[in-house]
Structure 1
Amino acid sequence: MNANDRSIIALVTTGHGLVHTYELSIPIFMTVWLAELGIAEATLGAVVGAGYFLFGAGALPSGILVDRFGSRRLIAGGLAGMGAAFVLLGLLPGLWGLGAALLAWGAAASVYHPAGLALISTGVRQRGRALAYHGIAGNVGIAGGPLVTALLLLAFDWATVAVLLGLPALVAAAAAWRASVDESAAVGAHGATGDGTSAAPAESARRTALWRQTRQLFASGFAGVFVLVALSGLYYRGMLTFLPDLLTPLVAVDLPIDVSAGRYVYAGLLTVGIAGQYVGGRLSDRAGTEWILAGALGLLAAVAAVFLPVAGWGTGALLIASAGLGFLLFLVQPLYQATVAEYTPPDTRGLSYGYTYLAVFGIGAAGAALSGGLLQITGPSLLFGVLAGIALLGAGLSAGLAVRRGQGAGPEEGEDRSP
């Protein structure tokens, strides 16, 4: 691994870890906002969901910007925006301040995944090792970010914690802006072709190609996969957004501790998710990912259906149910990513993952508003029942894709093969 590879890996691992630190620390803050600011669940769910929506919806245009301005600049700008947004989160007053800061965070965070993955693919010669480190950094942010947030809240008020969390991203943004990396060092090393010139198409030709590729994707089996990953995103966001607040009274059934109890169970649940991601990655190497994904989603439906009754048996049962939820919740991610690859042609693979992030994080953001509304109107029982139904729909759709494939309607059926 040369110096350029190491510099890029340092840049993308820092960015990936920070993105998920912020993403999954927000539910920790929500436990405080609900208790101290008197915001209703439905209102808070809608506000948080709007920020999460931009996190997903911005991925597609961000991918286009990466091609135009380069990855390093976009990563630096995204880090600066995320850090500034969390500083503003601690400084701006009231619900409108929260909403503005979370919208700014979502827009800035949406830049990272297209830019970071593009930089690895074009700049790092040892791509496999870079992707492994990149995934590990994301897992550190997923598990460590909420835990650090919960621990800081023991010593500081939430506004101060938000400002403190924003500072590392501002420092990282400055380092990214000053970094010197060759973003095209690996072009040609992984089978890419080209003459080294920019050869960028005219704007109208670019838009025409984007529209043609989009029609090609959605005329194929990818349309079903798109709906499938959107359902997965709804379950993911609907389950996690209010989970720390929901867990605290369940833990306190026979272990009377303070309001932070649910935060630590939530952080532990996300830590178990690291093992789920690893197992899901190994399973995604096997043929027939649709059936495996259908089974995993079916298990997620079962977990949602029995979570509250099992939690009523005591803290030990709750911890086991939470561990199972965390494992399965992250198990499905590499499985649907592999399924996307199977249902898309190589020349539209980048665009297909742009739409995948749009579905998972953009459409999936509606899960935050859904969970807030259901909690305010009826309470957690209906919420978990609806989430079980969403997972069952996803399992049925994945099984349907598997059946169609087994009947000879392959992944590329309906694909536009015209020149």
Structure 2
Amino acid sequence: MADDDNAIAGFTMLAHGTFHTYELSIPIFIVIWLDVFDVSAAVLGTVIGLGYGLIGVGAVPSGILADRFGSRTLIVASVVGMAGGFFLLSLAPNVYVLALAIMLWGMAASIYHPAGLSLISRCATERGTVFAYHGVGGNVGTALGPLVAALLLVFLDWQWVVRLLALPAIPVVLFGSRISFDEAIEPSSTDGGNDSFDLRSVLSQSRLLFTAGFTLAFVVVLLYGTYYRGLLTFLPDMIADLPLFEPISLYGRTAEPAQYVYTGLLMVGILGQYTGGRVTDHVRTEYALLAALAALSALAFVFLPSSTLGVAPFLVVCALLGFTLYATAPIYQVVIAERADETVHGLSYGFTYLGMFGIGSAGAALAGALLTYFDAPVLLGVLGAIAAAAALLCVVLLRRA
């Protein structure tokens, strides 16, 4: 890759990894928080859903700022804010402060994806390849963050584990302040070249952005986000309820094998992210997205039944689920880039992550409610139906392309 591509890939890989370290470590603590704060899965799912939802709510203004002023400063500010939110989380004495800390984290986290993805889509020469590396960086954080948290919980109280997880922000900030790359930002043609920040120009850009093709892609991402959040938020808890993975005693403390199955599933996602990004350089993206969503639907339906066949078949299904879940991300990111003008890529990803993390965060509350009032098979059946609906919309997207 070119020097700028290498710099952009390295910077965004580190920042993306930090984002997902925080995002996917939260489910590791859910089993503990249910007991410590004495709340139901429905209540805790709603609390966590609020924090995750703010990632989407803040994505649109973050995307606008990325289009106007560039991405580097925004990415650094996002990482610092996420670390601060996690440190506050470690001080939570009750579920109300817990909610406040997660919401503060979500506000800071909302900045990253519109800024990082618009930087890649606007400035990278080999866009699909840089998206692939960006995805790998995210999944390194996705896998290592929860794994480190699970290992540390064997020896430390959860508050200290959360504090230690705030430390990865330091090297990201240092690296981001030292590297150099060309990030030229040109005024959008949709507002007559006026570089002022005003609501009229944003509305004008938004109207031009939401073509039929982009709108369909937006709804597909929204449904995928609901599936993603609904599955991952309580996944360690669902695995822990299986007879195959009962808690064990280790060094005088209780260890949860389910947490390591969960982190292993996420680790396989590293290969999925890379593969999904490279596929977009060689295969029509709509076909790739359709295949991924259809597979996610099928895997939701067979997830629990596979556990009755033994540990090995269940772990194979977990690996396939982790691979496909994260292979989908770089594919839809390129689908979005193909349907948005370069001058509004930041805004396009802002709306995308409003759907993915904002509206999609309802998946956490949905999962908590279904687990509280029904059971895990009902939750997975609903998620499978959601992925199937997204796959059907991909068929429509193909016909309109």
Name the CA distance, whole Å, in 1 between partners of 2:33 and 2:204.
Answer: 45
Q: 1:259 to 1:42 in 2, by over 3 A?
A: farther
Q: How does 1:79-158 map to 2 (within 5 A)?
A: 79-119=79-119, 133-158=133-158
Deviation at 1:343, TM superposition (A): 3.3
**Per-residue deviation, residues 278-297 of structure 1 (Å, max 9, x unmatched):** 33223323454333322322
Cα distance between partner residues in 1 of 2:307 and 2:375: 15
Q: Does 1:247 align with 2:246?
A: no
Listed one character per residue, the Cα deviations across residues 27-65 of structure 1 (whole Å, up to 9, x for unaligned) are: 111121123332200110011011111112212211223
Scaled by the length of structure 2, the TM-score of the pair is 0.87
Gap runs ≥5 in structure 1: 406-410, 412-419
Match status 1:277 vs 2:273: yes
State the Cα deviation string for residues 282-323 of structure 1 (Å, max 9, x = none): 332345433332232222111111211111222222211211
One-letter identity of the residue aligned with 2:307 = A
Residue 303 in 1 paired to residue 309 in 2?
A: no
Distance in 1 (alpha carbons) for counterparts of 2:120 and 2:395 = 33
Q: Tell me if structure 1 keeps the 8 A contact 2:218–2:355.
A: yes
Deviation string, structure 1 residues 10-30 (Cα, Å, up to 9, x no partner): 543332211110011011111
SS where residue 12 of structure 1 aligns?
Answer: helix
1:224 to 216, 228, 232: 216
Quickly say closer, same or farther: Cα 1:128–1:320, change in 2 above 3 A: closer
2:315 maps to what in 1? 319
Q: What amino acid is aligned across from residue 299 of structure 1 in structure 2? A: A
Alignment of structure 1 residues 47-66 onto 2, 5 Å = 47-66=47-66
Deviation for aligned residue 1:209? 2.8
Shift of 1:3: 8.9
SS at match of 1:155: coil
1:188-246 CA distances to partner (integer Å, 9 max, x unpaired)?
9xxx899xxxx762334xx3332122112223221111111100110001000000111
Q: Contact between 2:76 and 2:173, CA under 8 Å: does it hold in 1? A: yes
Which residue, out of 307, 329, 335, partners 2:331? 335
**TM-score for the superposition, normalised by structure 1:** 0.84
2:251 is matched with which residue? none
Of 379, 382, 387 in structure 2, the residue corresponding to residue 386 of structure 1 is 382
Further displaced range: 11-20 or 344-353: 344-353
Deviations 1:99-127 (A, max 9, x none): 00000101111112233345556777887
CA distance in 1, matches of 2:371, 2:381: 12
Whether contact under 8 Å (2:131, 2:277) holds in the other structure is no
Name the SS of the counterpart of 1:33 in structure 2: helix
How far apart are residue 379 of structure 1 and its match? Answer: 1.3
Greater relative contact order: 1 or 2 (C-alpha under 8 angstroms, separation 6 or more)? Answer: 2
Work out the CA distance in 2 between the residues paired with 1:254 and 1:78. 37
Q: 1:337 to 1:7 in 2, by over 3 A?
A: closer
Percent identity between the two aligned chains = 47
Aligned to 2:226: 234
Which of the numbers 257, 267, 279 marks the counterpart of 1:261?
257
Change (3 A) 1:122 1:215: closer
For 1:123 and 1:282, locate their aligned partners in 2 and report how far apart those are by CA, in whole Å.
18
**1:400 Cα offset (Å):** 2.2
Asked if the contact 1:27/1:240 (under 8 Å) is kept, the reply is: yes
Distance 2:395 2:278 in 1: 20
Q: Give the 3-state SS of the residue equivalent to 1:167 in structure 2.
A: coil
User: For residues 344 and 393 of structure 1, do their structure 2 counterparts lie closer, same or farther at Cα, with a shift above 3 Å needed?
Assistant: same
Matched-pair contact (CA < 8 Å) for 1:71–1:119: yes
CA distance in 2, matches of 1:302, 1:143: 23
Q: Which residue of the partner structure matches residue 40 of structure 2?
A: 40
SS in 1 for 2:389: helix
Match of 1:417 in 2: none
Q: 1:127 to 1:217 in 2, by over 3 A?
A: closer
The answer on whether the counterparts of 2:121 and 2:337 sit within 8 Å (CA) in structure 1 is no
CA shift at 1:357, angstroms? Answer: 1.5
Tell me if the contact between 1:28 and 1:149 (Cα under 8 Å) persists in the aligned partners.
Answer: yes
The answer for the alignment partner of 1:415 in structure 2 is: none
Label 1:216 to 1:296 Cα distance change in 2 as closer, same or farther (>3 A).
same
Q: How many residues align?
A: 392
* Cα separation, partners in 2 of 1:36 and 1:314, compared to 1, 3 Å: farther
Contact 1:80 1:173 in 2 (8 A): no
- Which residue pairs with 1:22 in the alignment? 22
Partner SS, residue 50 of structure 2: helix
Q: 1-side partners of 2:128 and 2:216: how far apart?
A: 29
